[in-house]
Structure 1
Amino acid sequence: MTENQIKHLEFIHTNISHMNQCSFQMKGWTITIVSALLALYAASIDINTNPKGNLAFVLISIFPAIIFWLLDSYYLQQERKFRGIYNEIANLNCNKITTVKDFEMPLNKYSGGDYSYISSLFSITECLLYLSIIIALLIIGIVVSLL
């Protein structure tokens, strides 16, 4: 492996780490905002005047969860594309998609399959976190409205 290839792999690894960090931050922000809105909901409950509280806080918290799910999936897609380039340069791919020149980042050549946005959106890790949050919020909203 040439010195240029090693340096190129370092650049790609930096991008992979950055995408991973952004994805982690999306998850953190989701939990923070949803928790804050649920705290506002809990604070709006008054046994005498408003026993159900302001249910809007629960329902509104679904939207940031969806937005962050979409953003997180984008970062996961980008991370997968950078991993594809990394694997090509390191000769870890059996079926090469393209020949990558030194210091080239051909993200647009990686599409479909694991590199597609839909694949990232519905990956196990994304669905487990975001769908569980959304379903829990919907259940809370339904249960509270029925009380």
Structure 2
Amino acid sequence: MENKLKHLEFLQGAVNRMASNLFLLKGWTITLIAGLFALSAKDANAAYVLVAFFPALVFWILDGYFLSQERRFRALYDEVRKLPEDQIDFSMDTRPFKREYRNTWIGAMFSRTLLIYYGMLVTFMVALTFVLR
């Protein structure tokens, strides 16, 4: 049972790193976009507002990547917890789990949570763009 627990700890560590990356990306997204909007309001330059949409897209893509990786590690974790002790090989290979659509990069990008987060962010950015004009 000790091998199984150790393998599950490794997998949980990977899941925790992916979740941490997701959290940090969302923080950086808000910080960068808020900064660009502040520059736009200060200098009355609409170009900064348009530039703010680019990081939103880039961070959405990165969020999708890390979410897909987290989902794959969670699927591997679920498989390992069901394995008998003598079949534990300490594999961290998540490739068998990328076939499921929700675990793909695109599937994660268009997940409910990321669509709501980035959809609301872009909606807020569009509304703020009209207010600043």
Task: Indicate the residue corresponding to 1:50 in structure 2.
Answer: none
Aligned length: 129
Distance 1:54 1:77 in 2: 37
Matched position secondary structure for 2:3: helix
Task: Indicate the residue corresponding to 2:41 in structure 1.
Answer: 42
Task: Indicate the residue corresponding to 2:51 in structure 1.
Answer: 60
Task: Indicate the residue corresponding to 2:90 in structure 1.
Answer: 103
Q: What is the TM-score of this pair, normalised by structure 2?
A: 0.89
TM-superposed deviation, 1:89: 0.9
Task: Indicate the residue corresponding to 2:14 in structure 1.
Answer: 15
Letter in 2 for 1:21: S
Residue 125 (structure 1) aligned with residue 124 (structure 2)? no
Q: CA RMSD in A?
A: 1.7
Question: Residues 62-87 of structure 1: CA distance to partner in whole angstroms, max 9, x if unpaired?
Answer: 10011001001100000000000000
Distance 2:15 2:34 in 1: 29
Contact 1:59 1:137 in 2 (8 A): no
Higher relative helix content: 2
TM-superposed deviation, 1:118: 1.6
Contact 2:41 2:132 in 1 (8 A): no
Match of 1:78 among 69, 80, 83: 69
- When structure 1 is superposed on structure 2, of 3-12 and 131-140 the one drifting more is 131-140
- Taking every aligned residue pair, what percent have the same amino acid on both sides? 38
- Larger Cα-atom Rg: 1
Structure 1: where are the runs of 5+ without partners?
45-52, 93-99
Letter in 2 for 1:134: V
Matched position secondary structure for 1:90: helix
Task: Indicate the residue corresponding to 2:124 in structure 1.
Answer: 136
